[in-house]
Structure 1
Amino acid sequence: MDEAGPTEWVVGEPVGVGPWPGPLPEDERYDPELLAEGDRRNVMDAYRYWRREAVVADLDERRHDFHVAIENFQHDHNIGTVVRTANAFTAKAVHIVGRRRWNRRGAMVTDRYQHVVHQPDVAALLAFAAEHELEIVAVDNTPGSVRLEETTLPRRCVLVFGHEGTGVSPETRDNADLLVSIAQFGSTRSINAGVAAGIVMHSWITSHADLSTAW
């Protein structure tokens, strides 16, 4: 069973905003309970008092053209971090490949706003990518990879990350349109999968995103 994640309502020191001051707005995007009690969620100010469904609908209008996939064959505990980062960069969706269950604690409830899809295996992910005309970008520091810092990621793609110890699966590597690695200068062979995902997503943002739409 998945570990219970943190509640969307922050416990402890008051954060966010209190009850809505003045006449209540009639916009259906607003949540009557939040207007009455205040909004203590970890959301951008532009989404204060909005219903969760309204936030998701607005994000759907702004999502970028990349997907993220992480192979969960060894119950990777970095998935929550990947989901949280994907939300920050408005990825189209996060695909959990392999085991359906994952530790949601690191997502900090961003999985309520980020589309998370389960793919039973790599073949299913590859079929999804082909159907939606998405290039597969495997991230792994193995022979044959090109440095992320020296290439431009395709706009429409799935960024695939493997387990921190073993990397992406051979099936993913063999079917990738592009294999990239992150330049490293220290003694360790690998970078934490959650950190690596953030680096690669930000590289996509640097190349393709309209920064005038950032918060």
Structure 2
Amino acid sequence: MDERAPYEVGVGPWVGPWPEGERYDAELLAAGDRRNVVDRYRYWTMEAIVADLDSRRHDFHVAIENWQHDANIGSIVRTANAFLAAEVHIVGNRRWNRRGAMVTDRYQHVRHHAGVTELAAYLHEQGVVLYGVDNLPGSLHLETTTLPRKVCFLFGQEGPGLSDGAREACDATFSIAQFGSTRSINASAAGAIAMHSWVREHADLSGDGAWRG
């Protein structure tokens, strides 16, 4: 019989005098904070957390085509939150599977575009280049590319990959090196690799801004 106590996420009610400040949520202080947030944000209101994130967001964006309600979209949103993307762009169907996001979409700016042409126009107005990520013939190598600071990584649906329209709208396409037998890797895994490539090149890792547990 396993007598170990069940694992609990987060922290219980605040012990002692309550802290002062508008960023604290009275209900969380009284009942405890069981959300999936880093310790820095315990007991903070959602609005206060988003405001703090907005003051530190990175310059990269992430976009994914949504023609088949791909379950990977939620996972990509969650990873974009972890790496603090400026925005996540959903191209195509407005509705998407939020289950994999684990409510991180509440803290991440998610913007909808009817098509890739609209997405490209929006990004270019802000000086952001659009890079497609897919293992297409002629794609450049992500591992040997110097990434611009203002870039948006665009991913296609699981299986078919980037649509023809997306390929035409991209400023360039890049592939991720693979060494095994499979033709492709999961879209959410590819998204994590691309975002972390940007982090390694541009993010400030010298201070306390990066959470390492």
Q: Shorter-chain TM-score: which interval?
A: over 0.9
Aligned letter for 1:80?
A: G
Equivalent in the alignment of 1:41: 35
- SS at structure 2 position matched to 1:17: coil
Look up the match of 2:171.
177
Deviation at 1:172, TM superposition (A): 2.0
1 CA distance for matches of 2:60 and 2:9? Answer: 32
In 1, the alpha carbon distance for the partners of 2:201 and 2:195 equals 10
Report 1:1-215 matches (<5 A).
13-211=7-205, 212=207, 213-215=209-211
Structure 2 letter corresponding to 1:54: A
Work out the CA distance in 2 between the residues paired with 1:132 and 1:58: 22
State the Cα deviation string for residues 31-63 of structure 1 (Å, max 9, x = none).
Answer: 000011111111000000000010000000111
Alignment-mate amino acid for residue 23 of structure 1:
P
Aligned residues: CA RMSD: 1.1
Given that 2:70 and 2:96 are in contact with CA atoms closer than 8 Å, whether structure 1 keeps it comes out as yes
1:13, CA displacement in angstroms?
Answer: 4.2
Counterpart residue identity of residue 136, structure 1: L
Whether the aligned pair in 2 keeps the contact of 1:69 and 1:95 (CA below 8 Å) is: yes
Q: CA deviation at 1:175?
A: 2.6
- The alignment-based identity, stated in percent, is 66
Q: Distance in 1 between matches of 2:58 and 2:8?
A: 33
8 Å Cα contact 1:17-1:38 kept in structure 2: yes
TM-score normalised according to structure 1 size = 0.92
TM-score (norm 2): 0.93
Instruction: Tell me by how many angstroms 1:24 deviates.
Output: 1.2
- Map Cα deviations across residues 76-132 of structure 1 (whole Å, 9 max, x no partner): 110000000000000011101001111111111111111111111111101111211
State the distance in 2 between where 1:190 and 1:83 align: 20
The amino acid that maps onto 2:71 is H
Which amino acid in the other structure matches residue 163 of structure 1? Q
1:171 CA displacement: 2.0
Contact in 1 for aligned 2:116/2:169 (Cα 8 Å): no
SS at match of 1:118: strand
Letter in 1 for 2:105: D
| Residue identity matched to 2:210 | A
Contact 1:78 1:106 in 2 (8 A): yes
**Number of residues paired by the alignment?**
204
Unaligned runs of 5+ in 2: 1-5
The CA deviation at 1:23 is 1.2
Distance 1:49 1:144 in 2: 50
| CA distance in structure 1 between the aligned counterparts of 2:158 and 2:16, rounded to whole angstroms | 52
